[in-house]
C-alpha cells in the first residue's frame, strides 16, 4: 500500500492486515471498485478531466495577471496613494510582497487540502483572493494596498493544488500535457499583464486594472463552485464511507487510510502544515531539485523586472510598445509547451519500455537536462544583447529563448514531483513553490546592483552563471535518482 499524507509522517506502517486490524475486518474497508468506479477521479471522462485542467489554467493565468499587471504601474500607484510622493522602497515592496505571501500560503493550503479535500480549500482560497483584490482596488493608502497584496499572494491555491489535482485525475503516462498547460498559464498571464495593465492604467486609471482581475477571478470561482468535483482520493473515499455508514448502519466502515487514525482534524492540519518542511528535509532529491527550480524560475522575475527598463531606456520604446514586446516571451513559452506536449509523455513511455515496462519519475528529466543548459545561456544572451544594443529583433529573440528554456526546466520538474511523491505530491509541490517564491524575491534584487557595477552584459551573466553551476543537479538525479530516492520514505518505491 502506498503511503498517504494523512498518516503521521514518521509512521512506518506500510501494510494493512487484510484479516483484522483494530477490530475492523477487511470487509469494512471502503475503497474504489477495481472493476470500474464512477467516483474514482482516474476513471472520469477525459473531456471532463481536461475541462478541469483548462479551469485550473485559467485561474493560474488570472492569479499571475493580477500579480504582474501592477509591475509597470507601481510608481503610479504609490504616487496616487501618497499624494504625489514616490517612495522607491514602497514601489518595490508593492511588487515583492506578493511573492512573500505566496511563499507562506501553500504551507496552509496544502495541508488543508489533504485533510478536507481539494474542493473546499480551492473555493475558499479563491473567495479570499477575490476579497483581497477588491481591497487592493479600493485602497486609499500604501500600507493597506501592500497588506492586500500580501493577502492575495497568501490565497493563491492554483500553484500548489493544480499539479496535485492533475496527479489525482491522470495516470503517470498522461500527466505531462496537463501539467504543461497549467504551468504555461502563469507565464502567459505574466506576459500579458504588463501590456494590458499599462494600457488600461493609461486610459482608465490603475484601479481598473485590479477590477479587471476581480472580474476574471469571479468567473473562475463561479465555474469552480458549480462544476468542479472533489478529486482527492482520501476525501472521496471518506465521503463514501460516511454515506455507507449511514445507509448500512455499520459504524465500522472506514477507508484503508483511517483504520488506525484516531487524531483530531486540528492535529491532522498541524501535521500536514509541517509536512512540507519535513518532506523537504527528509528528501535530498527534493532539496537539490528545489534549489535548481528556484534559481531557474527566478530568471523569469529577473526578465520581467528588467525588460521594460531595457526597452524604454536603451531602445526608446513607448510603454505601450514595451508591453507588447512581452509577447515574445509568451511565444517562446508556447513553442516549449507544444514541444513538451508531444515529447514529455512519449519520452516517459519510451524509457519505461526500455526498462521492461517499469516506469520511474526520473524518465521526466531528460528534457529538464536540456533546459538546464539552455536557460542560463539564454539569460546570458539576453544580457549581452542589451549591453551591445544589438538590433531589437535579436533582443526579442533572446527574450523568447528565455521563455522557451524556462518551460523546459520547470514543467518536467513539476511532473517529476507529482510522479515521485504520489499522495505526497501536494507537500512536494509546496516545498518547490516556497523555495521558488523566496528565491524569486531575493535573486532579482541583485540585478540592479550588478548592472550598475558591471553593465547589462556582465551583470546579467553573473546571474546566468549561477544556473550553469547548478546544471549537474538534474543530470545526477536522472542518472542516480532511482536509487537516491530510496533514502527517503516519501519517495521510496512501494
Q: Does residue 14 lie within any of the structural domains?
A: no
pLDDT < 70 stretches in the chain? 1-28, 84-93, 96, 256-265, 268-269, 272, 319-320, 492-494
User: Three-state SS for 152?
Assistant: helix
Structural contact between residues 227 and 122, judged by C-beta atoms closer than 8 angstroms:
no
Is the CB of residue 255 less than 8 Å from the CB of residue 241? yes
How many domains is the chain built from? 1
**Residue 26, domain member (yes or no):** no
Q: What is the DSSP letter of 315?
A: S
SS3 263: coil
Cα(194)–Cα(215) distance, rounded to whole angstroms? 18
Whichever domain contains 80, its CATH number is 1.20.1250.20
d(CA 67, CA 299): 16
CA distance 272 to 262: 15
Domain-embedded: residue 24: no
Give me the pLDDT at residue 115, please. Answer: 79
Cβ(207)–Cβ(73) below 8 Å = no
Q: What is the pLDDT of residue 40?
A: 87
Q: Which helix (H) or strand (E) is 20 found in, with range?
A: strand 20-21
Tell me how far apart the alpha carbons of residues 28 and 186 are, in angstroms, rounded to a whole number: 44
Measuring CA to CA, which residue among 145, 23, 1, 487 is closest to residue 282?
487
Q: Establish if 17 belongs to a structural domain.
A: no
DSSP string, 378-400: HHHHHHHHHHTT--HHHHHHHHH
Q: What local confidence, expressed as pLDDT, does residue 308 receive?
A: 77
In a domain, 416, yes or no: yes
Residue 12 lies in a domain: no
State the helix-helix crossing angle for 265-281 and 425-442, rounded to 10 degrees: 60
Q: Which domain, by its residues, includes 280? A: 33-255+262-486
For the stretch 238-269, pLDDT in tens is: 888 788 778 777 777 777 666 555 565 677 66
Output Rg (C-alpha) for the chain, integer angstroms.
23
Residue 359 falls within a domain, yes or no?
yes
Q: Is residue 371 part of a domain?
A: yes
Give this prediction's pTM.
0.72
Amino acid at each position: 500500500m502506498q503511503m498517504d499524507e494523512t498518516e503521521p509522517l514518521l509512521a512506518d506502517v506500510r501494510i494493512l492486515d487484510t484479516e483484522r486490524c483494530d477490530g475492523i475486518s477487511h470487509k469494512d474497508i471502503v475503497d474504489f471498485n477495481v472493476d470500474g468506479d464512477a467516483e474514482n477521479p482516474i476513471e472520469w471522462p477525459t473531456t471532463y478531466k481536461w475541462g478541469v485542467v483548462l479551469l485550473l489554467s485559467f485561474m493560474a493565468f488570472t492569479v499571475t495577471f493580477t500579480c504582474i499587471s501592477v509591475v509597470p504601474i507601481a510608481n503610479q500607484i504609490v504616487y496616487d496613494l501618497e499624494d504625489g510622493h514616490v517612495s522607491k522602497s514602497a514601489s518595490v515592496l508593492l511588487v515583492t510582497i506578493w511573492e512573500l505571501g505566496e511563499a507562506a500560503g501553500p504551507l496552509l493550503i496544502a495541508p488543508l487540502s489533504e485533510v478536507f479535500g481539494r474542493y473546499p480549500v480551492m473555493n475558499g482560497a479563491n473567495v479570499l483572493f477575490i476579497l483581497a483584490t477588491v481591497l487592493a482596488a479600493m485602497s486609499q493608502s500604501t500600507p493597506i494596498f501592500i497588506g492586500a497584496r500580501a493577502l492575495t499572494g497568501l490565497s493563491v491555491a492554483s500553484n500548489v493544488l493544480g499539479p496535485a489535482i492533475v496527479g489525482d485525475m491522470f495516470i503517470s503516462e498522461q500527466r505531462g500535457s496537463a501539467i504543461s498547460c497549467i504551468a504555461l498559464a502563469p507565464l502567459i498571464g505574466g506576459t500579458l499583464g504588463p501590456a494590458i495593465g499599462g494600457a488600461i492604467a493609461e486610459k482608465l486609471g490603475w484601479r481598473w486594472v485590479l477590477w479587471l482581475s476581480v472580474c476574471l477571478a469571479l468567473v473562475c470561482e463561479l465555474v469552480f463552485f458549480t462544476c468542479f468535483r472533489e478529486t482527492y482520493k482520501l476525501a472521496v473515499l471518506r465521503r463514501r464511507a460516511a454515506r455507507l455508514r449511514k445507509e448500512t448502519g455499520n459504524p465500522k466502515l472506514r477507508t484503508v487510510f483511517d483504520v488506525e487514525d484516531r487524531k483530531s482534524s486540528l492535529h491532522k492540519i498541524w501535521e500536514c502544515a509541517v509536512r512540507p518542511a519535513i518532506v523537504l528535509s527528509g528528501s535530498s532529491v527534493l532539496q537539490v531539485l528545489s534549489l535548481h527550480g528556484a534559481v531557474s524560475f527566478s530568471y523569469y522575475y529577473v526578465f520581467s523586472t528588467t525588460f521594460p527598463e531595457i526597452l524604454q531606456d536603451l531602445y526608446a520604446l513607448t510603454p505601450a510598445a514595451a508591453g507588447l514586446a512581452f509577447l515574445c516571451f509568451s511565444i517562446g513559452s508556447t513553442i516549449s509547451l507544444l514541444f513538451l506536449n508531444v515529447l514529455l509523455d512519449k519520452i516517459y513511455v519510451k524509457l519505461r519500455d526500455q526498462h521492461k515496462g517499469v516506469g520511474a519519475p526520473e524518465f521526466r528529466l531528460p528534457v529538464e537536462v536540456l533546459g538546464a543548459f539552455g536557460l542560463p545561456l539564454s539569460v546570458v544572451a539576453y544580457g549581452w544583447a542589451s549591453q551591445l544594443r544589438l538590433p531589437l529583433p535579436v533582443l526579442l529573440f533572446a527574450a523568447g529563448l528565455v521563455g522557451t528554456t524556462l518551460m523546459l526546466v520547470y514543467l518536467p520538474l513539476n511532473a517529476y514531483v507529482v510522479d515521485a511523491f504520489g499522495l505526497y505530491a501536494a507537500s512536494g509541490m509546496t516545498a518547490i513553490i516556497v523555495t521558488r517564491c523566496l528565491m524569486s524575491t531575493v535573486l532579482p534584487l541583485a540585478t540592479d546592483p550588478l548592472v550598475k557595477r558591471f553593465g547589462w552584459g556582465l551583470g546579467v551573466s553573473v546571474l546566468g552563471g549561477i544556473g550553469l553551476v547548478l546544471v549537474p543537479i538534474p543530470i545526477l538525479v536522472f542518472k542516480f535518482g532511482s536509487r537516491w530516492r530510496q533514502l527517503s520514505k516519501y519517495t521510496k518505491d512501494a
